[in-house]
């Protein structure tokens, strides 16, 4: 069996994380992905840890299921070679700034005119209709300008970046969904099209789902920011011997929890019954939760909360995930042999299809072995 995108050819002129993460997912789903790299390679090859130069862990983790071809786009022959590859492809994706793409005649107007069935996807920092369209952008910049870095309930708390490349990966996910939708449209109509995935707009949309809040209304019914998520008591709670995540959500959850914790007075609090009152009082409830959790061990809470069907989980460290029982049962981590890097631990494609499963057909290519 082959993946749902088997037979789709993608020319991937992306670097760093957003584009490579997107094209890896498309490759996992069966697409043939040809990664175009400059002679020095994708800049993301450099960051370690690594066993050999140009094969850093982050590069390995977002470039499987791809072939690699080195082309110097300053060279007219190599640029012509790229256009020849695009002519035979279903999808062309890049994350250049659009003025650079136009200088190379790789803009959507030029390519869609020549290849009307082509699905063209540009991952940009900013939408091309706005004044920021020509600015360079990386994940930290987008976290800052989108409101993510300053998202806090405490106005005196300094802004902070998330400890993951959240803007890049979110943009990559949007690119995957847009490309597959455009391929479906082409299947129905025979018509290709251009897609723009601007990271700034993507992250504003991502955050607005819950955090637009009172600003959703005109006139505003309050400030932006979803109170439950910004409350300082929303955090893993200290138990007698460690930390545990506990999340009573419904009225029944809260009443059961407080009853089990020996706090009948809190279990009978009328604010638990009304969804609106409970939401408005969530900070108080989380504080009460923390005062209860500290009196039992993590194992005791896990047993009790499991019986009560109240959502909970251990607080895993990244280094502990491989040993998680569910991770082991689902074979999420898999051991593979890379042709140049030796034994590696990889995360299999997490999405499963019943008839056209994803697969890891090849591991990330070495620059030295790139096909010319």
The CATH code of the domain that includes 77 is 3.40.50.10540
Question: The domain containing residue 302 runs over which residues?
Answer: 237-314
Q: Please give the share of the chain, as a percent, with pLDDT higher than 90.
A: 96
Closest CA to 187 of 91, 254, 276, 264: 91
> What's the pLDDT band for 360 if we cut at 50, 70, 90?
very high
List the catalytic residue out of 42, 139, 168, 269: 168
**Catalytic residue status for 168:** yes
Question: Average pLDDT in the 192-201 region?
Answer: 98
CA distance readout (Å), 318 to 64, 85, 299, 314: 22, 40, 20, 12
Does one domain contain both 141 and 272? no
Does one domain contain both 95 and 147? yes
Q: Answer yes or no: is pLDDT of 368 > 90.
A: no
> What's the pLDDT band for 369 if we cut at 50, 70, 90?
low
CA separation for the pair 39, 78 (Å, rounded): 11
Does one domain contain both 306 and 169? no
Q: Answer yes or no: is pLDDT of 176 > 60.
A: yes
CA separation for the pair 157, 151 (Å, rounded): 9
Question: What pLDDT is recorded for position 1?
Answer: 62
Residue 36: strand, helix, or coil: strand
- Contacts for 216 with CB less than 8 Å, ≥ 6 apart: none
- Residue-wise pLDDT tens digits, 70-98: 999 999 999 999 999 999 999 999 999 99
Question: What pLDDT is recorded for position 157?
Answer: 84
Q: How many domains does the chain have?
A: 2
Does one domain contain both 296 and 189? no
Question: Average pLDDT in the 197-221 region?
Answer: 97
Residue 50 lies in a domain: yes
Question: What pLDDT is recorded for position 354?
Answer: 95
Does one domain contain both 44 and 98? yes
Q: Answer yes or no: is pLDDT of 154 > 90.
A: no
Does one domain contain both 158 and 33? yes
Average pLDDT, the chain: 95
Q: Answer yes or no: is pLDDT of 372 > 60.
A: no
3-state helix, strand, coil in the chain (%, to 5): 40, 15, 45
Residue 186: strand, helix, or coil: helix
Does one domain contain both 28 and 150? yes
Q: Please give the share of the chain, as a percent, with pLDDT higher than 70.
A: 98
Task: Write out 79-108 in H/E/C secondary structure.
Answer: HHHHHHHHHCCCEEEECCCHHHHHHCCCCH
Residue 170 lies in a domain: yes
Question: What pLDDT is recorded for position 352?
Answer: 95
Alpha-helix runs per DSSP H in the chain: 18-28, 57-60, 76-87, 98-103, 108-114, 139-145, 166-189, 199-211, 227-230, 251-260, 264-267, 275-280, 282-293, 298-308, 325-329
Residue 365 lies in a domain: no
> What's the pLDDT band for 153 if we cut at 50, 70, 90?
low
- Residue-wise pLDDT tens digits, 124-143: 999 999 999 999 999 999 99
Q: Answer yes or no: is pLDDT of 199 > 80.
A: yes
Residue 340 lies in a domain: yes
Does one domain contain both 108 and 255? no
Residue 109 lies in a domain: yes
- Residue-wise pLDDT tens digits, 260-310: 999 999 999 999 999 999 999 999 999 999 999 999 999 999 999 999 999
Does one domain contain both 243 and 335? no
Question: Is residue 38 within 8 Å of residue 72, measured between CB atoms?
Answer: yes
Residue 367 lies in a domain: no
Does one domain contain both 63 and 146? yes
Q: Answer yes or no: is pLDDT of 251 > 60.
A: yes
Question: What pLDDT is recorded for position 2?
Answer: 85
Tokens of 368: 């030295």
């Amino acid at each position: 069996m082959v993946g749902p995108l088997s037979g789709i050819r993608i020319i991937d002129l992306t670097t760093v994380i957003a584009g490579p993460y997107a094209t890896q997912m498309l490759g996992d789903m069966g697409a043939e992905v040809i990664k175009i790299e400059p002679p020095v390679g994708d800049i993301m090859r450099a960051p370690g840890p690594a066993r050999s130069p140009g094969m850093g862990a982050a590069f390995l983790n977002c470039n499987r299921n791809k072939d690699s071809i080195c082309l110097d786009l300053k060279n007219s022959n190599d640029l012509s070679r790229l256009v020849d590859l695009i002519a035979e492809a279903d999808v062309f994706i890049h994350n250049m700034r659009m003025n650079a793409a136009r200088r190379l005649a790789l803009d959507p107007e030029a390519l869609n005119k020549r290849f009307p069935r082509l699905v063209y996807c540009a991952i940009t920092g900013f939408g091309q209709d706005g004044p920021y369209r020509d600015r360079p952008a990386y994940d930290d910049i987008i976290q800052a300008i989108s409101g993510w870095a300053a998202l806090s309930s405490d106005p005196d708390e300094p802004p902070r970046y998330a400890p993951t490349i959240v803007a890049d990966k979110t943009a990559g996910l949007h690119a995957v969904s847009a490309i597959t939708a455009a391929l479906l449209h082409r299947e129905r109509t025979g018509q290709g099209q251009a897609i723009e995935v601007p990271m700034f707009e993507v992250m504003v949309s991502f955050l607005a789902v819950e955090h637009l809040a009172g600003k959703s209304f005109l006139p505003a019914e309050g400030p932006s920011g979803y109170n439950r998520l910004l409350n300082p008591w929303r955090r893993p709670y200290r138990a007698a011997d460690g930390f545990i995540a506990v999340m009573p959500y419904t009225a029944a959850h809260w009443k059961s929890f407080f009853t089990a914790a020996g706090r009948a007075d809190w279990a009978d609090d009328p604010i638990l019954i009304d969804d609106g009152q409970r939401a408005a009082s969530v900070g108080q409830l989380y504080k009460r939760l923390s005062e209860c959790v500290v009196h039992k061990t993590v194992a005791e809470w896990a047993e009790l909360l499991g019986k009560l069907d109240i959502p909970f989980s251990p607080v895993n460290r990244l280094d502990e995930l491989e040993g998680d029982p569910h991770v082991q049962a689902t074979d999420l981590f898999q051991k593979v042999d890379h042709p140049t890097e030796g034994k590696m631990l990889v995360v299999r494609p997490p999405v499963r299809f019943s008839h056209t499963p994803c697969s890891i057909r090849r591991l990330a290519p070495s620059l030295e072995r790139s096909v010319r």
